[in-house]
Structure 1
Amino acid sequence: MKRQRSKGTGSIYQNSRGQWVAVVEAGWSDHGTRRRITLKATTKPAVRARLIEAQRKFLLDGSAPSLAHITLKRWADEWLARRQLVVRPGTFVSDRSAVDRWIVPTIGHLRLDTLSPADVRRVAAAQARKGLALATMQRTHAVLSKLLADAVAEGHQVPQRSREASSPGAGTSPRQALSVDDAMRILAVSAERPDASRWVAALIEGLRPAEALGLTWDMVDLDAERMTLAWQLKALPYVEFRNPASGFRVPRGFESRQLRGAYHLVRPKTRAGSRVIPLIPSLATSLKAWSQIAPPSPHGLVWPREDGAPRSPEFDRQEWYELAERAQIVVTLPDGRTRPPLLYEARHTAATLLLANGSDETTIRAVLGHSTVVSTRAYLHADLTRSRAALVASAQMVGLDG
């Protein structure tokens, strides 16, 4: 059939199957090719109406009127390519995992403009059948919600009811704090190890695992008994899976220092993560002893592996599990099951001890890195004095010297 076209207004024609088709220009793709959108209807007036609406939308907000039959998978591929440029590597890896393992395999074949709330719920249902934790299901739902919201921002049509589909549900965090007695037993066992300072830093000072593994000696002032937490150890993803030659996948402006292989020192996620906190006297003493026998690290790491390389998170967790097993500590879940305590629960324990000894919220947030960094000397001094008293009180609760 002859196409009916006026320059700049798109074209309308009837195909061999009797359908009326409209084609409209929608700008350019990321690859520099012209983007065309095809609209279909059973009648010529209907397809013209769709064409006019697409053009109106483009004129109003400048977005490409993405009314074509784009599948969720096709959009997800484009979304991930953009996502890697704006979010931290760990966030990108988590997002990509949710997309590749659950979202695309479950509903990736469906068109964005036909998604229903039931389709969105199918992703969580697939995870539930595999016995995944509620927290994982909630995280995947959040990724899917962001993916769909960004699709709308780009001009794609996604039914609002699908974007507002309810999450898999609310639940309490599975993490628990250890009791004072359990913390004392783990510290007693760790005291027999040369790296006892690593576990005091976790249970009393509340260091995140990545903060501990990224701590360097130049950040520790043993004379002033304080340490600066300004870096974290992270394994950055390669651009191509398991291909070091492809380089690392990092967003614009991301600050990092490569140590070995994929392991880098990276800045904390927020400014609150960078902070100066005091060392309790017993930790300062333990660190002084450790500094004399610690494996030499070319990177100056405080707690490296035997060969001086960065400790992997897996290695660090295994050391923690061995401590917990020797101390005969298990965590009882609400349903009666038991498991070993998680390493991150040491940080929860530090917070609980600070609460139990009457520390105020401002002090707790400053110690754990949940508030902005105090920058001036006067405020820094006041904050460290208060924080030191709080940490000493926590240490005394579990039998450590103040």
Structure 2
Amino acid sequence: MMAKVKQRSKGTGSIYQNARGQWVASIEAGWSERGSRHRVTFKGRTKAAVRARLTEAQRRATAELATSQTCGSITVKRWAERWLEQRQRIVRPGTFVSDRSGVNRWIVPTIGHLRLDELAPADIRKVTTAQEDAGLALATMQRTHAVLGKILADAVAEGYVVPQRVRDVSGPGAGHSSRQSLSAESAARILAVAVTRPDASRWVAALVEGLRPAEALGLTWEMVDLKAATMTLAWQLKALPYRAFRRPESGFRVPRGFESRQICGAYHLVRPKTRAGSRVIPLVPWLVDSLSSWAKCAPSSPSGLVWPRGDGNPRSAELDRRQWYEIAREAKVSVTLPDGNSRTPLLYEARHTAATLLLANGIDETTIKAILGHSTVLSTQAYLHADESRARAALEVSAKTVGLSR
């Protein structure tokens, strides 16, 4: 029967008694040259004997770590694993998931076995080449290159050696965003289809009010004031990652000070990235009427969501996009790309369209920033309330442009 002993802190090793009555000490003994983790165990007749051997192993590990930091003898994989452990504590969950994907799918498989101090510029370019060969978009390659740059910069700050010429390798190049805004005519055609749906308000909120998808999906009725014709955008709907993949019991991976409210499974209401993201914006008269009608027939949501799924649970981003595509295709609206090909407009392009409509109608930049939450220039509630009449007039002009009148 194995006897349990007091649990030690992670990384300091452990001591226990096995079924044969032997005392066993176990400690992580670093990584191989290719970055694979392994453990070393010691056996003895007495607990004191294995504790002494464990203490010596810990001393050697500490000395080796100090040496590795001085000479840079640590693999990219080993450092990337440590970097991710720290990264999860300081960045938003979505950012961490994106960083982890770049590390685990591209950086480690390509150059994880190499030592930091032995990296060459060609090694950095190998990561981009691997992604390019896989047909990934330029934006993805740029993102992975930025993550790799951050990993190397943080390694230097930690005391490891990384050649400067490696850190100076340029990225995969700049490209133009494929996102476009729709013309007023195309927006009107989409809305002509959308207004035939019970949840028409969801799509007007995107095309006219400029709500981000996560803002719309996280909007609750308590944040909508139909009498004052305003809505408060203070939360967004996000699915937070579990600490262990697909294991809810492991808890959620969130940074220090991260504010969230769980509403169903992995779905949480989270605060916007910036203070400007939290704002109060006016509702155009058409939207007030539409929301009033929707409130009477909308699915009952335990969390009070304005646009939930049919069963009242949170509407996923995938379902939201799928419904948008259905509307756009029914409206026969497409976007022409620089290479001459065409595609269905993206849901996020509805937000771009809202900004374009405001600009086309001569609305000033300050008002547009206030409506879309693009800047901290309107970060206080006092300013928002003082400028509400101007924002309301601007949105009503956009609504009329696409054929929405009371």
User: After TM superposition, is the score higher than 0.5?
Assistant: yes
Is 1:154 the counterpart of 2:158? The answer is yes
Distance between the aligned counterparts of 1:66 and 1:236, measured in 2? 37
Provide the residue aligned with 2:398 in structure 1.
394
Maintained 8 Å contact 1:203/1:349: yes
SS of equivalent to 1:153: helix
| Alignment partner, residue 124 of structure 1 | 128
| Structure-1 residue corresponding to 2:234 | 230
In the alignment, which residue of structure 1 is the partner of 2:299? 295
Q: Deviations over 1:181-233 (max 9, x none)?
A: 11000000001000000000000000000000000000000000000000000
Counterpart-to-counterpart distance in 2, 1:158 and 1:70: 10
**Residue pair 1:38, 1:67 contacting (<8 A) in 2 also:** no
Residue 285 (str. 1) matches residue 312 (str. 2): no
Is contact 2:72–2:162 with CA below 8 Å preserved after alignment?
no
Q: Deviations over 1:106-155 (max 9, x none)?
A: 11111100111111111111111111111110011010000110001100
Give 1:36's match in structure 2, choosing from 63, 67, 73. 63
Extract unaligned runs of 5+ from structure 1: 1-30, 40-53, 55-63
Distance (Å, rounded) in 1 between the aligned partners of 2:77 and 2:64:
17
* Rounded Cα–Cα distance in structure 2 between residues aligned with 1:380 and 1:32: 60
Determine helix, strand or coil for the equivalent of 2:262: strand
Of the three residues 162, 167, 172, the one matched with 1:163 is 167
Q: Choose which of 128, 131, 134 in structure 1 pairs with 2:138.
A: 134
> After TM superposition, what 4+ stretches of structure 1 lie above 4 angstroms from structure 2?
31-34
Distance of 1:391 and 1:32 partners within structure 2: 67
Question: 1:306–1:258: structure 2 CA closer, same or farther, 3 Å change rule?
Answer: same
- Counterpart of 1:180 in structure 2 is 184
Deviation of 1:68 after TM superposition, in Å, equals 4.3
Does 2:270 match 1:243?
no
Structure 2 residue runs without a partner (length 5+): 1-57
1:32 to 1:168, Cα distance in 2 relative to 1, 3 A: farther
Q: Is the 8 A contact 2:276 2:379 kept in 1?
A: no
Change (3 A) 1:271 1:374: closer
Residues 156 and 190 of structure 1: is their aligned pair in 2 closer, same or farther, counting only changes over 3 Å?
A: same
CA distance in 2, matches of 1:118, 1:391: 52
Alignment of 1:211-360 (within 5 A): 211-360=215-364
Residues 136 and 32 of structure 1: CA distance in aligned 2, closer, same or farther (over 3 Å):
farther
Between the aligned partners of 1:38 and 1:258, the Cα distance in structure 2 is 40
C-alpha spacing 1:374/1:76, structure 2 compared with 1 (3 Å):
closer
Question: Which residue does 2:8 correspond to in 1?
Answer: none
User: What pairs up with 1:170-209 in 2 under 5 angstroms?
Assistant: 170-209=174-213
Give the Cα separation in 1 of the matches to 2:257 and 2:361.
41
How many equivalent pairs are there? 348
3-state SS of 2:281 partner: strand
8 Å contact 1:177–1:345 — kept in the other structure? yes
Whole-Å Cα distance in 2 between the matches of residues 32 and 376 of structure 1?
56
Cα pair 2:264 2:313 within 8 Å, conserved: yes
Q: Is the 8 A contact 2:279 2:384 kept in 1?
A: no
Once residues 351 and 325 of structure 1 are traced to their aligned partners in structure 2, the CA distance between those partners, rounded to angstroms, is 22
Q: Residue 199 and residue 38 in structure 1: after superposition, are their counterparts in 2 closer, same or farther (change >3 A)? A: closer
Distance between the aligned counterparts of 1:138 and 1:261, measured in 2?
32
Aligned residues of 1:295 and 1:306 also touching (Cα < 8 A)? yes
Q: Deviations over 1:4-57 (max 9, x none)?
A: xxxxxxxxxxxxxxxxxxxxxxxxxxx998522389xxxxxxxxxxxxxx8xxx
Is the Cα–Cα contact under 8 Å of residues 181 and 398 in structure 1 kept in the other structure? Answer: yes
- For residues 38 and 388 of structure 1, do their structure 2 counterparts lie closer, same or farther at Cα, with a shift above 3 Å needed? closer
| Aligned residue type for 2:380 | S
Q: CA RMSD in A?
A: 1.6
| Distance in 2 (alpha carbons) for counterparts of 1:33 and 1:259 | 48
Which residue number corresponds to residue 380 of structure 2?
Answer: 375
Name the SS of the counterpart of 1:37 in structure 2. Answer: helix
* Residue type at the aligned position of 1:171: G
8 A contact 2:370–2:384 mirrored in 1: no
- Indicate conservation of the 8 Å contact 1:209/1:313, yes or no: yes
In the TM superposition, residue 336 of structure 1 has moved relative to its aligned partner by: 1.3
The letter for the 2-side match of 1:82 is Q
Q: Secondary structure at the match of 1:299?
A: coil
Q: Distance in 1 between matches of 2:339 and 2:146?
A: 27
Instruction: Read off the aligned partner of 1:242 and give its amino acid letter.
Output: R
CA–CA distance in structure 2, aligned partners of residues 185 and 37 of structure 1: 67
Q: Which amino acid aligns with 1:36?
A: A
Distance apart, 1:83 and its partner CA: 0.4
Q: Partner residue of 2:41? A: none
Q: Which residue of 2 aligns with 1:77?
A: 81
Partner AA of 1:375 in structure 2: T
Where 1:389 maps in the other structure, the secondary structure is: helix
